[in-house]
Amino acid sequence: MLVTGNDILIPAREGKYGVGAFNTNNMEITQAIIHTAERLRSPVIVQMSEGAVKYGGQDLANIVIDIATRATVPVALHLDHGSSYASALNAIKMGFTSVMIDASHHSFQENVHETRRVVEAAHAMGISVEAEIGRLGGVEEHVVVDEKDAFLTDPEEAVAFVDQTNVDYLAIAIGTSHGAYKGKGRPYIDQARIVRIGELLGIPLVAHGSSGVPAEITQRFRDSGGEIGEAVGIADEDLREACKHGIAKVNVDTDLRLASTVGIREILQASPKEFDPRKIFGPAREVMSKIIEHKMGVLGSVGKAGPAPVQVR
Ligand SMILES: O=C(CO)COP(=O)(O)O
Ligand SMILES: O=C[C@H](O)COP(=O)(O)O
Ligand SMILES: [Zn+2]
Ligand SMILES: [Zn+2]
């Protein structure tokens, strides 16, 4: 069923588990996300970036909405990193049930101003809103506290931001970063900061940049002819811990990009005569499904959608 972000994230926050928010760009990615959620009885968020809106537009949004509507687990369609009021409202017009307004690179006051405008309009239409405060980007473990404070989310500022905007869920900078290169060794996650913000704020918190970049996948990427450097993601244990203290929405894009490319590379390499698209995109969908299944296990969302309804006809 298609629901709002709040419908999924408020129970997650209360139940101390995380829900994966996976980026989609085509039918196979969307199927991998929602069909895996259905199989594991997990709520899930499917998100489209502005790039995905440009690439797939209403066609892609309709694929998500259709599969979500027929699913028996809660699914939300979310705009990832909306950059303006117009972009957020356009997504709502397209049928999105959750939107992000990301004005985190502006001043605090401007971020408040932009977020508030979106919240007012979205709430009038029953749609929930995510905003962001702080600067995303990896942190080295040895960096002194003062330096961390410069870009990681300040707990007091987060409280003031939520008070002034009435936003539904908040993305915080805690050490995660976008992409396949999140640092050297195990990326440092500021768990104490999550705990503090989680104590001060009752709303669901959002972790961007949460791909795990599993070594098995990067190795298969290399083995099938791909080129990738010292790719590192967020450790499962760090995400599990974060979800106990308020992180309820966990954003994952890079892992599905890697998984789909690995699936395609392996089949093209193993079967040079193959040109049936179903035999090429199908295996990619399988590799993505395994990654999604693993992530849902780590976050603790498996089974949280309740038992499957009994089919009567
Ligand atoms: O935060 C993300 C989308 O908003 C995706 O993060 P990853 O690059 O770690 O997958
Ligand atoms: O956080 C950003 C997501 O990974 C989406 O990336 P994109 O804008 O290339 O679609
Ligand atoms: Zn951002
Ligand atoms: Zn992001």
For residue 107, the CA-to-ligand 1 centroid distance in Å is 23
Q: Say if ligand 2 is within 6 A of residue 52 CB.
A: yes
For residue 116, the CA-to-ligand 1 centroid distance in Å is 24
223 catalytic? Reply is: no
Q: What does the pLDDT read at residue 149?
A: 72
Backbone phi, psi, residue 308, to 5°: -65, 140
Ion ligand 3 — residues with CB < 5 Å: 102, 104, 132
Mutate to test the pocket of ligand 1, among 210, 213, 236, 239 (most ligand atoms within 8 A of CB): 210
pLDDT tens string 167-178 = 999 999 999 999
Q: What does the pLDDT read at residue 136?
A: 85
Q: What does the pLDDT read at residue 116?
A: 98
What percent of the chain has a predicted confidence (pLDDT) above 70?
97
pLDDT tens string 197-235 = 999 999 999 999 999 999 999 999 999 999 999 999 999
Q: What does the pLDDT read at residue 34?
A: 99
Say yes or no to pLDDT of 290 above 70: yes
More confident position, 150 or 111: 111
pLDDT category of residue 58 using cuts at 50, 70 and 90: very high
Please state, in angstroms and rounded to a whole number, the distance separating the CA atoms of residues 18 and 249.
6
Q: Say if ligand 2 is within 6 A of residue 261 CB.
A: no
Predicted structure pTM score: 0.97
Q: What does the pLDDT read at residue 296?
A: 98
For residue 133, the CA-to-ligand 3 centroid distance in Å is 8
**Nearest CA-CA partner of 215 in 249, 180, 189:** 180
Q: Per residue in 166-176, is it b (16+ CB within 10 Å) or e — as a string? A: ebbbbbbbbbb
Backbone phi, psi, residue 136, to 5°: -70, 155
* Mean of pLDDT values over 16-35: 98
Please state, in angstroms and rounded to a whole number, the distance separating the CA atoms of residues 104 and 110.
9
Q: Say if ligand 2 is within 6 A of residue 306 CB.
A: no
